[in-house]
Chains A and B, each alone.
Chain A
Amino acid sequence: MTKIKELNKSTRNNIITLGIILVFYVLCQILIAAGVMSNLMQGLLVPLCYYSILAVSLNLTVGILGELSLGHAGFMCIGAFTGAFFTRCTEDSIPNVFIRYTIAVLIGAIFAALFGGLIGVVVLRLRGDYLAIVTLAFGEIVKNIINALYIGIDEKGFHISLQDASNLKMAEGGDIIVNGAKGITGTSRDTTFTIAILLLILVYVIIVNLINSRSGRAIMAIRDNRIAAESVGIDITRFKLLAFTISAAMAGVAGVLYSHNISSLVATPKNFGYNMSIMILVFVVLGGVGNIRGSIIAAVILTLLPEYLRFLADYRMLIYAIVLIVMMIFNWNPACITWRKNHSFKDILQSVFKNKKEEAKASGKEEA
């Protein structure tokens, strides 16, 4: 009996989250149809989805596996470029957007997963802060190489260079697809809000189902106590790699969403650098490490907030920084934790309620 309750609890939680996503989607569609949604907000709908996917997927590494990663934007970058590259090459040969987009998502996810697995192998022996720095280094390497990468196509096939476009030695009429720091231009902007929401739901279901399965338990066992996990026969290598790979693949999906939502894809420190990785990490930490729904909520709030604080102009990022510090201290400082316990919202509500009851009782007595 208790078992059924437990199953229901996690399933219920997931259904609630999926419900929230769907209600949000319907609400947005109504607002768009009614013509009351601002252009700013409409432009943010797809970013909300890919930031949520990034946060959810990073939470798998940080919250469920318990390893700190500062290179998540690197996997997104790989997904973005491989996906856009595919679309750019096949725009004429595969006219069906649905098929083309599906393959692009798969390619983005697979390439990101390959690199995720690779990084997973590299960091197997590393712990904590060393792992953080290697993932940071990885993200920077990806960004750096893509900025120096030139790929062109002509009748003889693909040409690759790491120096400059003239080194591609292309025939007349060849097409440069990846143009170094200028990136990929002219990818058709196939991402729609509907696709983005569908992919968000897909990623959410994959991650949540993984967590609530045998493999997910193994991953969490490694997080909680590696030595004990080994002692009950959990293959640490296998499940660490699994977590890294799936997390990276999902970031790759977010990358595909991103690269098909803009007309000119370039790898800058802003979109794929460590600052981006850190921003995703902030989503995860503020949403609650290990809390998948929290990641989505934090990603949405922290994406919308700066946009709606634009009237604060230059003070915007300053306020963001202060909020970050204050939130961390409020959440983690022992004195703050005690204060929160003594002044918890629930308790205040309860005491107010209790007082009212007592008052009612007292007045009742008086009446009697």
Chain B
Amino acid sequence: MEMLTVKNLGISFGGLRAVDSFNITIEKGELYGLIGPNGAGKTTAFNLLTGVYKPDTGVITLDGKNITGLSTIEINKAGIARTFQNIRLFRALSVLDNVKIGLHNDYKYSTLAGILRLPSYRRIEKQMNEKAMDILKVFDLDKEAHLLSANLPYGKQRKLEIARALATNPKLLLLDEPAAGMNPSETDELMKTITLIRKKYDVTILLIEHDMKLVAGICEKIFVLNFGTELANGLPGDVLNNPEVVKAYLGE
């Protein structure tokens, strides 16, 4: 069953064709890697998928639903959540609150109920706290739940971003360089966590990464982007040994 199909996606900035005829199909439950040299258009592709940019051409279908041209908010509600290359946490809020904001659309009570502290407020806040702590436990962040998120060490900030994205209960999770800035042991741990959440939350994952150990280690399929277009696409063994890919990465 197809979770995401992207057909002929493209966008230009001025004269630059940042992403051009981007086609990808991700099956439900798959873990896909998106790699390519710096400036290849990987993050732009993420921004197109999440509605930060509106594509000039192409159609994006998520789980059978056409989501092309929807706003970021609607796309998140439709089931895509993401993390950011440059970490974007709610820095003045606690770790717990960051995750609870991710739960915003699944656990609802009215503003008035919140102001008047009606029973629905107490009940749903309790459920939110439990759910958020569950997610934090998976990421081994439950002990830091009441810390200010800005005070977390870098590696944990990256993990918290994934936790927050997961809290929105997505069908498809986009991770933008989740291992950036992590040391080898942190990366190993991250690989385990990604494998775990995939099973536990039944989520399809597309990730951008430069760390080839991570990509080769956990990705089932790899898509290589270069100058905004597809260079290679397929199983890791084939793609990573493709001479074109080696050339794009290492030069002639």
A residues in contact (CB < 8 Å) with B: 2-3, 5-6, 205-206, 209-210, 212-218, 220-221, 223-225, 227-236, 242, 290
Contacts and interface: CB of A to CB of B under 8 A. Distances in A.
Given A210-B115, A214-B108, A234-B104, A220 B145 contact: no
Contacts of B84: 227-228, 231
Nearest to A220: B93
Interface of B: 50, 52, 71-73, 76-77, 81-82, 84, 88-94, 96-97, 100-102, 104-105, 107-109, 111, 113-117, 121, 124-125, 128-129, 133, 145-146, 164-165, 167-168
Contacts of A225: 88-91
A242 B81 contact: no
Contacts of B108: 214
A214 B125 CA distance: 8
Find the residue from B81, B92, B101, B164 having the highest chain A CB count within 10 A: B101
B101 A217 contact: yes
Contacts of B121: 213
Contacts of A5: 146
Nearest to B94: A6
A228 B88 contact: yes
A5 B146 CA distance: 10
Main secondary structure of the interface of A (DSSP, over half): helix
A6 B125 CA distance: 13
Give the 10 A-B CB pairs with smallest separation, nearest first.
A213-B114, A233-B76, A224-B90, A228-B88, A230-B72, A215-B111, A221-B101, A225-B88, A209-B115, A233-B105
Contacts of A2: 145-146
A210 B110 CA distance: 11
Contacts of A236: 73
Contacts of A224: 89-93
Contacts of B105: 233
A210 B116 CA distance: 9
A13 to B, nearest CB: 14
29 contacts: A5-B146, A206-B115, A209-B114, A209-B115, A209-B116, A210-B111, A210-B114, A212-B114, A213-B114, A214-B100, A214-B104, A214-B114, A215-B111, A217-B97, A220-B92, A220-B93, A224-B91, A225-B88, A225-B90, A225-B91, A228-B84, A230-B72, A231-B50, A232-B104, A233-B77, A233-B104, A233-B105, A234-B101, A235-B73
